[in-house]
Amino acid sequence: MSDPNARPVLTTTAGAPVADNQNSISAGPRGPLLLQDYQLIEKLAHQNRERIPERVVHAKGSGAYGTLTVTHDITRYTRAKVFTPGSQTEVLLRFSTVAGERGAADAERDVRGFALKFYTSEGNWDLVGNNTPVFFVRDPLKFPDFIRTQKRHPATNMRSPTAMWDFWSLSPESLHQVTILFSDRGLPQGYRFMNGYGSHTYSLWNDAGERYWVKFHFKSMQGIRTWTNKEANEVIAEDRESAQRDLYEAIERGDYPRWRVCVQIMPEAGAEKTPYNPFDITKVWPHGDYPLIDVGVLELNRNAAHYFAEIEQASFSPSNIVPGIGFSPDKLLQGRLFAYADAHRYRVGTHYEALPVNRPRCPVHHHHADGAMRFDAPRGTDHYYEPNSFGGPVEAPSVKEPPLRIDGDADRYNHREGNDDYTQPGNLFRLMTPEQQQHLFNNIAAAMQGVPRFIIDRQIEHFRRADPAYAAGVAAAIGRIHTAPASAPTTAADVGQQAAD
């Protein structure tokens, strides 16, 4: 009878037992190593390949499993089974920062990712959102340019405030998100203490073929807690994994974080009646016009057993939807439908969706063939194409989405024409208390240190158009803060100028 407590035998990847894992094979005690020592070669070769490419954005992340419990009935809007009243669905939620690399500190001022994977009975539904309801750009053509401004300068290899503010000041649609980023909510104390948003406009459709536009909200039931810049710097000095540690330890001790899940609903025809474009991700839907409707509760209650396998390899894509949930004409969403799945094919591999963390909990049947690292063996050899006469999966016409009427001439339309990029940021500013406004002024002024004056002036003009008090407050804070000695150069031009001086 075997001892259940006996330790397993160490093996090679091929399963052969290892006799000695302490010493390489050499020609004598002092001699060179032998190429036949495959155990050594395998070990070194595997180490060279332990890292996969990090995410281009949202590289630093944390995550956990949990459940969505539906407590309210929204089946009049959608046929998606995930919203069946009383149902529970397993969920994976990955939090992240946007700009930093995998080793970045958690307590940096940045947008936080809020990416959800619902393992539903009809397939995986991914809702890939943030902790803000809006974003910096509305056209995916500008997304790569924006991200470059958040990454490192190609010459100095340092983050460049000049690049950030230059781009933002030339992109007035960014003002709403910039205002949120530099408000108190731009520095949450941890992932448990922030809201989540689907951000984009999506669609729901019901059994009657009626379509509704929808926005998803996740309201933290732990409350909102934020750091000041000074507090965050102190946290970073002590613990670069502060948010990861807080989330992991809370779940381990049974203090499960929860979010109230809500939606805003707009009838399909209502999109033609709003004074703003409801598919513009730089805008919000006023709650007075489209109040929050309760759906249920999201709870995280289980940590991953292996970070790399379950969190680093977790792959989310807005293109993963289920019957009853659809897309919208949101331009940035349309770009993400391609970009995210394509990024996973590059970063993780052709069959990334077959990995346990990404694998649907329902049966999967398709005709995608072969590819690197395919490890399943599809049954049947005669129905490897479609249509065919030999069996295999068939279509499901009952889940066909209702038609969406679209029209217009194909052209490159100026997305800023007819778009009001100032009213909503101004409204947000006026909702803040005087103390919150002062924090906003100081945070912006601190982030503008070292930025050329003409860029600062251009950005202040955007603040003025949102609210004159907004511009005046930032200008006054700049006058106080920028009297300090100049910071280190952040662009190649800055480096050259200081060298000339």
Same domain, yes or no: 307 and 440: no
**Which of the following is catalytic: 58, 176, 217, 439?**
58
Same domain, yes or no: 130 and 236: yes
Is there a domain that residue 151 lies in? Answer: yes
* Residue 406: Cβ-neighbour burial (10 angstroms; 0-12, 13-18, 19+): exposed
Query: Which residue, 354, 375, 396, sits at the end of a domain?
Result: 354
What confidence score (pLDDT) does residue 334 get? 97
CA distance 68 to 58: 24
Same domain, yes or no: 331 and 430: no
Instruction: Answer whether 2's CB lies under 8 Å from 11's CB.
Output: no
448-501 pLDDT, tens per residue?
999 999 999 999 999 999 999 999 999 999 999 886 444 444 444 443 333 333
Report the pLDDT averaged over residues 64-70.
Answer: 99
Kind and range of the H or E element at 480?
Answer: helix 468-481
CA distance 353 to 341: 10
Query: Which residue, 330, 354, 378, sits at the end of a domain?
Result: 354
**Which of the following is catalytic: 124, 130, 303, 358?**
130
Same domain, yes or no: 429 and 281: no
Instruction: Answer whether 429's CB lies under 8 Å from 437's CB.
Output: yes
Is there a domain that residue 413 lies in? Answer: no
Same domain, yes or no: 333 and 437: no
- Please give the residue range of the domain that contains residue 88: 61-166+174-354
Residues 6+ apart with CB under 8 A from 110: 97, 98, 99, 100, 181, 186
Is there a domain that residue 142 lies in? Answer: yes
**3, pLDDT greater than 80:** no
Is there a domain that residue 501 lies in? Answer: no
Same domain, yes or no: 100 and 187: yes
Backbone angles phi, psi at 269, to 5 degrees: -70, -20
413 or 300, greater pLDDT: 300
286-314 pLDDT, tens per residue?
999 999 999 999 999 999 999 999 999 99
pLDDT above 70 covers a percentage of the chain that reads: 95
CA distance 160 to 226: 25
Is there a domain that residue 27 lies in? Answer: no
**Active site includes 388?**
no
CA dihedral 342, 345, 347, 352 (to 10 degrees): 130
Report the pLDDT averaged over residues 56-76.
Answer: 98
198-250 pLDDT, tens per residue?
999 999 999 999 999 999 999 999 999 999 999 999 999 999 999 999 999 99
Same domain, yes or no: 123 and 223: yes
Is there a domain that residue 392 lies in? Answer: no
Same domain, yes or no: 84 and 207: yes
Residue type, 224: I
Residue 244, domain CATH: 2.40.180.10
Same domain, yes or no: 340 and 467: no
CA distances from 83 to 201, 315, 338 (A): 18, 23, 26
340 among the known binding-site residues? yes
Confidence of residue 377 (pLDDT cuts 50, 70, 90): confident
Is there a domain that residue 496 lies in? Answer: no
126-184 pLDDT, tens per residue?
999 999 999 999 999 999 999 999 999 999 999 999 999 999 999 999 999 999 999 99
Domain count, the chain: 2
Same domain, yes or no: 217 and 74: yes
**Active site includes 58?**
yes
Q: Where are the beta strands (DSSP E) in 244-375?
A: 258-267, 293-303, 325-326
What confidence score (pLDDT) does residue 391 get? 87
Query: Which residue, 354, 380, 408, sits at the end of a domain?
Result: 354
Is there a domain that residue 297 lies in? Answer: yes
Can you give the C-alpha Rg of the chain in angstroms? 26
